[in-house]
Chain A
Amino acid sequence: MLTEIAQLVLNGLMAGTILAVPAIGFTAIYAVLRFPNFSIASQVTIGAFAGYVANVYFGLPAPVAVAFAFLVSGISGVICDEVVLRPMRPTGPLATAITAVALTIVLENVVRFWFGNDLRGYDLPVLRDWRFGELRVSPQQVENLVIAVIAMACLFAFLAFSRMGKAMRAVADNPTLASIKGIDAITIGRLVSFVGMGLAGLGGMLLGLDTSIDPLTGFRVILTVFAAAVVGGLGSIPGAVVGALTIGVAEELSLLVLDPAYRSAIGFVAILLVLTLRPRGILGERAF
């Protein structure tokens, strides 16, 4: 029993670390652009398929393919934001959110048009699980974990030390003050769309590496991604990490008492609990 719990917590922490990547993307976009960008679901899928193309068609190893996933999703995210979402923003966050849902439907079907509905798997070496006493870990999970941690470390370094990163935090913190200081909100908006959607795509590929991918990959995890962002505090990047780890572990531990089919309902319950008990999330809404 105790080993079982330890195994579940371990699995949960690993799943949570990967979940944190798209959750950071969602929350960063929310912090700067102030609307829930539902189209992150489709960028998760686009990233997963971009990585698939790089991995299976071009034969690149997974750690290189994730960079490709990041780039493709990031660029597609910026283009979609420029063409579809930015013109909607003056009409208010709710109209923009609905537009983002419509955008998700379009993009998801672009992927479906080219790749069909079939499940696809990445081209990965088959490796034996590592054992630590009673606990089991697959080398692929560890590799995913390392990629996720590196991506997050890069992001934190970017936000903490680079000029653009600081500008991004400034806009998130106080847009008026930032614009008085001469920070161009539109450039920062493009930057956050690129980084946020890039992270979503990278996260999509990491999620797909564990299982398989299809055009609904992004939509299936979107509730969990929201849950991670809301539980940690919508708009807070460290919050998204804390939230993702919490949700990851909670989902795994729920297997002790619940049918596995209800895993994705955990996110919903977590959102309701947090909104009722602590509406601003575990870490509040400060961006960084």
Chain B
Amino acid sequence: MENYIVAMLVFSGLYGLMALGLNVVWGMAGMINLGLVGFFAVGAYTSALLTKLAGVPIWLGVIAGALAAATAGVAMALTTAKLRGDYLAIVTLGFSEVVRIAASNEIWLTNGTDGVSGIPGPWRGLVTPEAFNLIFLALVAIVVAIVVFLLQRVRHAPYGRVLRAIRDDDQVAAVAGKTVIRFKVEAFALGCGVIGLSGALYGHYTSYIAPDGFVPLITIYIVLALTAGGTGNNYGAVFGSLLVVFFMESTRFITEVVPGLQPVQVAALREMLIGGSLILILRLRPTGLLPERSPQITLAEEKAT
């Protein structure tokens, strides 16, 4: 049971990282990204293959995974930067599907649908599985804390203010002399990099990745986590991810409440609940449980009084 709880906390942390990444792209800069899971997969595969096949140290693999996802994000943002948001939704959704198709079919590299197994993890094999779980939880917690700290800095910096200005009205930002496209591409790259970081860690934690693990439903989990937590709020992203993982895991016990269901029906019910709660939150509390509050600037004269 302890192991189960630790594993769930690790997943909350990984989802939290993805939600933080989405928060940069969607919450701060106002660009939609329905292809999260594609960037997650790019990070996971890059780090897994580098460490397993090329013998690169894990920390370097994780950084490479984040960079690869960020690069994919730059390519995506540059192609779609001048287009309206709804096109970006379609293109990013398509991107994640293409990543999954490529991962399933480039067997020479990714081992196809069988997936990559035996991905090294920090101190795996040297310590008991319980200890490995705890070490990884500590690791993920530290990474989440660092990312939250850095993103809070970005949010409060003039840079974050420009991003919010672009989100609220990019024409006004452009009139104020900001190169909107540059900011959008950078924000997209930063967000996708954080998502790739999460993917890389995921591979090293589970030691196995396969295309089946990168389905669009994961994107929905993350959108739900960020929306529930509070779009635009970094703490909300982490809090929302905890909630979503807790919620998803508690729906596992649905079979005990409603007896006589087939496993596929239980799975269907759980997904219905996920989709349904996203609809309800968007409708009833679109700002989330921890709504974004724009950083207040104390002006000099106010300080004086």
Point out residues on A near B: beta carbons under 8 Å: 35-36, 38, 84, 87-88, 91, 93-95, 97-99, 101-106, 108-110, 112-113, 116-117, 219, 223, 226-227, 230, 234, 259, 261-262, 264-265, 267-268, 271-272, 275-276, 279
Contact = CB atoms under 8 A, between A and B. Distances in A.
B87 A88 contact: no
A96 to B, nearest CB: 9
B142 interface: no
B143 interface: no
Interface residues of B, number: 43
9 contacts: A88-B282, A99-B278, A103-B275, A116-B264, A223-B97, A262-B101, A267-B94, A268-B98, A279-B82
A284 to B, nearest CB: 15
Nearest to A262: B101
Q: Which of B87, B89, B274, B278 counts the most A-chain CB atoms under 10 A from its CB? A: B89
A102 B278 CA distance: 6
B79 A276 contact: yes
A226 B90 contact: yes
A99 B282 CA distance: 7
A98 B97 contact: no
Interface string B157-181: 0000000000000000000000000
A36 B89 contact: yes
B104 A93 contact: no
Contact of B282 (A93, A95, A226): A95
Contact of B32 (A91, A94, A106, A227): A94
B83 interface: yes
B286 A95 contact: yes
B217 A105 contact: yes
Contact of A262 (B85, B105, B268, B272): B105
Nearest to B85: A94
Contacts of A94: 32, 85-86, 89
Contacts, number: 122
A27 to B, nearest CB: 12
Interface in B265-288: 265, 267-269, 271-272, 274-276, 278-279, 282-283, 286
B287 to A, nearest CB: 11
A102 B95 contact: no
Interface in B38-81: 79-80
Q: Which of A102, A227, A272 counts the most B-chain CB atoms under 10 A from its CB? A: A102
A105 B264 contact: no
Contacts of B290: none
Given A101-B220, A223-B93, A261-B105, A106 B82 contact: no
Nearest to B112: A261
B286 A275 contact: no
Contacts of A226: 90, 93-94
Contacts of A272: 79, 91
A36 B85 CA distance: 10
Contact of B272 (A101, A106, A219, A230): A106
A91 B79 CA distance: 27
Contacts of B104: 261
Interface in B81-135: 82-83, 85-87, 89-91, 93-95, 97-98, 101-102, 104-105
Given A102-B282, A106-B276, A97 B89 contact: yes
A14 B102 CA distance: 27
A268 B95 contact: yes
A179 to B, nearest CB: 23
Given A113-B269, A275-B80, A279-B82, A91 B220 contact: no
B292 to A, nearest CB: 15
Which 3 residue pairs are nearest across A and B when measured between Cβ atoms?
Answer: A105-B275, A106-B275, A268-B94
Contacts of B85: 93-94
A252 B223 CA distance: 35
A271 B94 contact: yes
A35 B84 CA distance: 11
B276 A91 contact: no
Contacts of B250: none
A271 B91 contact: yes
Given A97-B32, A259-B105, A275-B80, A106 B279 contact: yes
B90 A36 contact: yes
